[in-house]
A and B are shown apart, each in its own frame.
Chain A
Amino acid sequence: NAGVTQTPKFQVLKTGQSMTLQCAQDMNHNSMYWYRQDPGMGLRLIYYSASEGTTDKGEVPNGYNVSRLNKREFSLRLESAAPSQTSVYFCASTGLGNTIYFGEGSWLTVV
C-alpha cells in the first residue's frame, strides 16, 4: 500500500545547485502532479502530466522541469536552485475522478 512515494524527504541545496525530486505511484493512475506549498499560499501546481508521455505547465512552472519517465514515475528537476524555491513539494496522482492522492512531501531549503 505504498500509494505515492517521493524522495528525498529533506534536502538542503546551495543557490545554483541542481537536483531532482523523484516520485512514483503504484495505483496505475494516469495523471500525476507536482505541487509546492508555501505559508499562506496553499498548494500551487507547478507541472502536471495528464498521461504517460505528456507534460504541461501549471501555475508556477518557472525554474522547474519535469519528466514523465513512464506511467509510474514523474520527476521534478531544479536546474539552478534559488532561495525562492525553498518550499515543501508534493507529488500527487489521480485516476478516474478528481480525487488526488498525495505523497508525504519533500522539504527543500535553498541557502
Chain B
Amino acid sequence: DQQVKQNSPSLSVQEGRISILNCDYTNSMFDYFLWYKKYPAEGPTFLISISSIKDKNEDGRFTVFLNKSAKHLSLHIVPSQPGDSAVYFCAASASNDYKLSFGAGTTVTVRA
C-alpha cells in the first residue's frame, strides 16, 4: 500500500512556463518531505526538501509547498527549462524513522 502517491505519471510544459508537480501522502506520521530528480541511466539526486513546521520552502527556481491538513505537497518549477526534463520523485519520512517512502514518479518534459 503506497503511502506516497504521485497521481500524474507525466507532465508536458512549454519552456519558460511553470511546472507544478503534485504529491499526496497518507501517513500522518510523516514530517519531512523531499523531492528527487532523476535523469535516465543516473541515480536520483536530491532537489529540495521541507519540514512539517513550514508550509513553503524556496530554492532558486524550485519551490515546495506543504499543506499538512490535506496531506498534500507540490513542487513548482519557474521558469521551466529544457534541462528540467526528468523524472521527479516525491518522498517522505517520519522523524523517528530515517527510511524514505517514495512516490511512483512524474516524468516532466519541457518543450522548447
| A contact residues around B45 at 8 Å (CB) | 102
Known interface pairs A42-B104, A43-B89, A45-B99; A98-B32 also in contact (CB < 8 Å): yes
Q: Kindly list chain A residues whose C-beta atoms are within 8 Å of the C-beta of B9.
A: 40
Interface of A is mostly: strand
Cα–Cα, bound, A90→B43 (Å): 7
- Determine if A76 is an interface residue (Cβ-Cβ < 8 Å): no
Establish whether residues B105 and A42, one from each chain, have CB atoms under 8 Å apart when the complex forms: yes
Contact between chains at B89 and A98 (CB < 8 Å): no
Task: Using CB atoms and an 8 Å cutoff, list the residues of chain A in contact with chain B.
Answer: 4, 31, 33, 35, 40-45, 48, 50, 58, 90, 92, 94, 98-105
Interface size on B, residues (CB 8 A): 25
Complex CA distance for A108 and B44, rounded to whole angstroms: 17
Contact residues of B with A, CB < 8 Å?
A: 2, 4, 6, 9, 32, 34, 36, 41-46, 49, 89, 91, 93, 98-105
Which of chain B's residues have a CB closer than 8 A to the CB of A101?
A: 46
Residue ID in chain B nearest A9 by CB atoms: B41
Tell me which residues across on chain B come within 8 A of A103, comparing CB atoms. 43
**Known contacts A43-B102, A98-B98: A90-B44 contact under CB 8 Å:** yes
Chain A residues whose CB sits within 8 angstroms of the CB of B104 once the complex forms: 40-42
Say whether B102 contacts A98, CB under 8 Å.
no
Q: Can you name 27 A-B pairs with beta carbons within 8 Å?
A: A4-B43, A35-B102, A40-B9, A40-B104, A41-B104, A42-B2, A42-B4, A42-B6, A42-B103, A42-B105, A43-B91, A43-B100, A58-B99, A90-B44, A92-B43, A94-B98, A98-B49, A98-B100, A99-B46, A99-B49, A100-B46, A100-B91, A100-B100, A101-B46, A104-B42, A105-B41, A105-B42
